[in-house]
Structure 1
């Protein structure tokens, strides 16, 4: 069963903030796709609101998330992103239906 996380981010105002987030999310996707147990890790920007972003993370199983969190990049990514966000990250966890 595939374990999926959908994280919604909402940026502070400013084109520079948007560009910083875009760059960091593209970088993060390249890093996290290499983690064992990761099926996909991709990001999207809302079509109407450029301050709204979504991250879709798909893992082979829920325990694969431990590898993701143990990646040294995880903590630096979060610390970089935190001051750029207007609100807390909204994280939804699901098991995909078979």
Structure 2
């Protein structure tokens, strides 16, 4: 059985390309949310820096995430957005941990 995957994608737009990045991301988000296995795909912006973003993604399985990266809309965004960024995208993958509370003594 596959476990869900959480992805954090951190990136920073060049100030002069902020609108370009936002437009491209809006298109990517709309298409990605329709994909099978996409549980959540939400963009966040830093409160103190309008050019700093993190996309928090939840995927039903590693296979669903792999399929996402193969989608034409994802490939197009990955080719289109990098020149508008101030630094490389940092992507990390996470697995949810469920901890139980110890029983009182």
TM-score (norm 2): 0.85
1:83 is matched with: 83
CA contact (8 A) 1:9 1:89 kept: yes
Give SS of 1:92's match: strand
Question: What is the aligned-residue RMSD (CA, Å)?
Answer: 1.1
Indicate the residue corresponding to 1:9 in structure 2: 11
Give the deviation of 1:27 after TM superposition: 1.4
Equivalence map 1:14-53=2 (5 Å):
14=16, 17-53=17-53
Would the aligned equivalents of 1:26 and 1:43 in 2 still touch at CA under 8 Å? no
Aligned length: 96
The TM-score normalised by the length of structure 1 is 0.90
Instruction: List gaps (5 residues or longer) in structure 2.
Output: 99-105
Residue 38 of structure 1 deviates from its aligned partner by 0.8
| Structure 1 residue 13, shift from structure 2 partner | 2.6
Paired residue secondary structure (2:62): coil
